Structure 1
Amino acid sequence: MDKRFARGLVVGKFAPLHRGHMHLIQSAIDACAEVLVISYTKPEFAGHGPAARAAWLQAVFPQVRSLVVDDAWLADWSRTRGLRERRRLPHNDDHADVHRAFTAWLCTAICGTTVDAVFTSEDYGDGFAAALSAHFGARVRRPHDVRHVCVDRERVTVPVSGTRIRADLHRHRAFLHPEVYATFVRRVCLLGGESSGKTTLARALARELGTVWVPEVGRELWEERGGRLDYPDMRRIAERQVAREEALLRHATRWLICDGSALTTVFYSLDGYGRVDPAVRRLAELPYAHTFLCAPDFPFVQDGTRRDAAFRARQFRWYARVLEARGVPYVLLEGPVAQRVATVRATLAAS
C-alpha cells in the first residue's frame, strides 16, 4: 500500500512511553514509509532515563528509527567528531522556537535527514511544521513543505497523560505496554535453606500483594531429572532462573516475588562440584530491591529430595555470610508464615 508521506517525525519526552504515545507513533507508521522518533527532556524524570526510553522504543517499535539524546550523549557525539562546539539540550521551559530549531538540527546534523510530516497531539503542531519547513528549506536551499498531522488532540482515544501516569505508575499500568511497565516492577528475593518455608511464603506473598512469583528452577529440574544433575546444569539453572524472572516481570504488579536466585545455584554448585561457572557468578550479582532470608525455625520436612536439618542450617549460615560479605542488606524472617508475610509487607510499604 502506498503511504501518504515518505518520512514522518514524532518528538516527545516519552517519560514514560504510554499508549497515547503509542497511538501517535502508530499513526505515523501507518501514514509514512519511514518514521523517525526523537526523545529528549531536560530535566530528566527519575526512573525514566534515556537508556530506559531507548529500550522501550526499541522493544515496542523496532521498525522505526529512534534517537534518544541527553547532554552526555551530545557531548560524546561532538567529542568523537572533534567538534569544539558542544550542543546542549534546551530546557523543557525554553521557548518553542528553541525546541523547534534544536529538533531540526537533530534531524539534519545527527540523523542526516529531513521529514515531510510531523505528528503531534498538540495545538503547537502547525507552528512546529512551519518552523521545520523553514529550517529544512534553508538547509537544502529549496522550498521544503512539512505537513502537520494532528492525532487525537482531545485525548479521546487514549485519555491519559505522562504527568498522570508518573503520579501513580501502578494505578495507571493499563496505559503502559508490558515492556514499559516491567521497568517499574521491583524484584523481591527470598533465600533460605531447604524446608525453610520459602516456596510457601512466595505463594502467600504473591496472593497478598496481588502479583506473581517465580518458582525455583533448580528444584523443578531436579525433580524432572529424578535427582540427577551435572555440573553444566548449574549454568542452565541460573540462566533459566533469571530468564524466568525477566519474563514474569511483564505479568507482575509492583513487586515480583522470587523463590531463590542465581545465588542459590552458586551454593549448590559449590556444594556439589566444588566450583562455580563464571557465568553463574555473574548472574548471582543481579540486584534485588529487597532480600529476605528465611530462618530455619520451621520443623524440617523430608519430602524425599532434601538432605537434613543440619544441611539446612549450613545453607542458612552460608547465605548470611555471603550476603554480609557482599554488603547486601537483608531482613531475617522468623516465625510462622503469617508473621513472615507481615514483616515483608511492612518492609515493602516502608520502601
Structure 2
Amino acid sequence: MNHIPKIAVVGPESTGKSTMSDYLAAHYQTIAVPEYAREYCAKLTEPCTWQDEINMFYGQLALEEELLPQANKILICDTTFITVKIWSDEMFGKAPQEVLDELPKHPYDLYLLLNIDLPWQDDPLRNFPTMREHFMDVWHKELDSLNANYVLISGTGDDRYESAIRAIDEFHI
C-alpha cells in the first residue's frame, strides 16, 4: 500500500478540532479519525488516572490503525496522542514513558495547529477555559520539539476552513 499522508488537527481545548476534522474529511472525501479520549473520558465516573492516560494513548493508536485502510489519499486525525503527553504533564507532572518513547515513532505528515481565536464553548469534558494561551504555547513547544511540519490555522468561519484546505493543498501537491 502506498503511503497515506496523515494530517493531524491539533490545538488547545475549544478550538474547533472535531468540527474542522469532519469538514476536511468531507472536503477530501476521506475519513476522519475521531478523538479517542473524548469518548473514553465521557464514560469515566471518576477523575482521569495515570492508567486512563495510558489507555487513551493505546486507544488512539489502535483507532488510527483501524481506520487507515479506509482513507482516500489522506487521513485526517482529530488530535493525536501528543494530547496524552500534554495532559499528563499538566495533571501528573510527567507523561507515561511509553508515550514519550512512541512520540517520535508516530509522526504525522502535517499538523494543523488551530489557534485560540474562536470563543470558548463550554463542554463537560473541557477543563481549562482560562489556560488556552498556556496550552497554545505548550502545543508550539511540543510540535517544535518533534521537528513537526505544522501550520497555524486562524480565523473564523469559512476563512478558517479555507486556510486549512490551503495548508493541506500546498503540502499535499
Q: Distance in 2 between matches of 1:302 and 1:227?
A: 20
Q: Distance in 2 between matches of 1:229 and 1:345?
A: 35
Q: Distance in 2 between matches of 1:195 and 1:258?
A: 16
Give yes or no for the alignment of 1:253 onto 2:80. no
Give yes or no for the alignment of 1:311 onto 2:131. yes
What residue number does 1:197 align with?
16
Give yes or no for the alignment of 1:327 onto 2:168. no
- Alignment TM-score, normalising by the size of structure 1: 0.46
Give yes or no for the alignment of 1:232 onto 2:51. yes
Q: Distance in 1 between matches of 2:25 and 2:66?
A: 16
- Bigger-Rg structure (1/2): 1
Residue pair 1:210, 1:253 contacting (<8 A) in 2 also: yes
Query: AA paired with 1:209?
Result: Y
Q: Distance in 2 between matches of 1:192 and 1:278?
A: 22
Q: Distance in 1 between matches of 2:28 and 2:62?
A: 22
Residue pair 1:242, 1:283 contacting (<8 A) in 2 also: no
Q: Distance in 2 between matches of 1:250 and 1:243?
A: 12
Indicate how the Cα distance of structure 1 residues 283 and 200 shifts in structure 2: closer, same or farther if over 3 A, else same.
Answer: same
Q: Distance in 1 between matches of 2:132 and 2:26?
A: 26
- Alignment TM-score, normalising by the size of structure 2: 0.91
1:215-294 equivalence runs, <5 A: 215-226=34-45, 228-285=47-104, 286-294=106-114
1:292-303 equivalence runs, <5 A: 292-303=112-123
Residue pair 2:109, 2:149 contacting (<8 A) in 1 also: no
Q: Distance in 1 between matches of 2:15 and 2:169?
A: 24
SS in 2 for 1:276: coil
Q: Distance in 2 between matches of 1:308 and 1:230?
A: 17
Residue pair 2:25, 2:31 contacting (<8 A) in 1 also: yes
Deviation (angstroms), 1:312: 2.2
Give yes or no for the alignment of 1:206 onto 2:25. yes
Q: Distance in 2 between matches of 1:262 and 1:336?
A: 26
Deviation (angstroms), 1:228: 2.7
SS in 2 for 1:303: coil
Residue pair 1:302, 1:308 contacting (<8 A) in 2 also: no
Deviation (angstroms), 1:347: 2.2
1:85-234 equivalence runs, <5 A: 180=1, 183-226=2-45, 228-234=47-53
User: Which structure 2 residue ranges, 5 or more long, are not aligned?
Assistant: none
User: Once the two structures are superposed, what CA deviation does each residue of 1:66-90 show, in whole Å capped at 9, x if it has no partner?
Assistant: xxxxxxxxxxxxxxxxxxxxxxxxx
User: Once the two structures are superposed, what CA deviation does each residue of 1:234-282 show, in whole Å capped at 9, x if it has no partner?
Assistant: 1111111011111111101011111111111100111111121111112
1:39-58 equivalence runs, <5 A: none
Deviation (angstroms), 1:338: 2.1
Deviation (angstroms), 1:227: 5.5
SS in 2 for 1:313: helix
Higher RCO, 1 vs 2 (CA within 8 Å, ≥6 residues apart): 2
Q: Distance in 2 between matches of 1:230 and 1:342?
A: 38
What residue number does 1:338 align with?
158
SS in 2 for 1:184: coil
User: Which structure 1 residue ranges, 5 or more long, are not aligned?
Assistant: 1-179
Query: AA paired with 2:119?
Result: P
SS in 1 for 2:131: helix
Backbone CA RMSD of aligned residues: 1.5
Q: Which of 274-283 and 190-199 deviates more?
A: 274-283
Deviation (angstroms), 1:308: 3.5
Deviation (angstroms), 1:343: 1.8
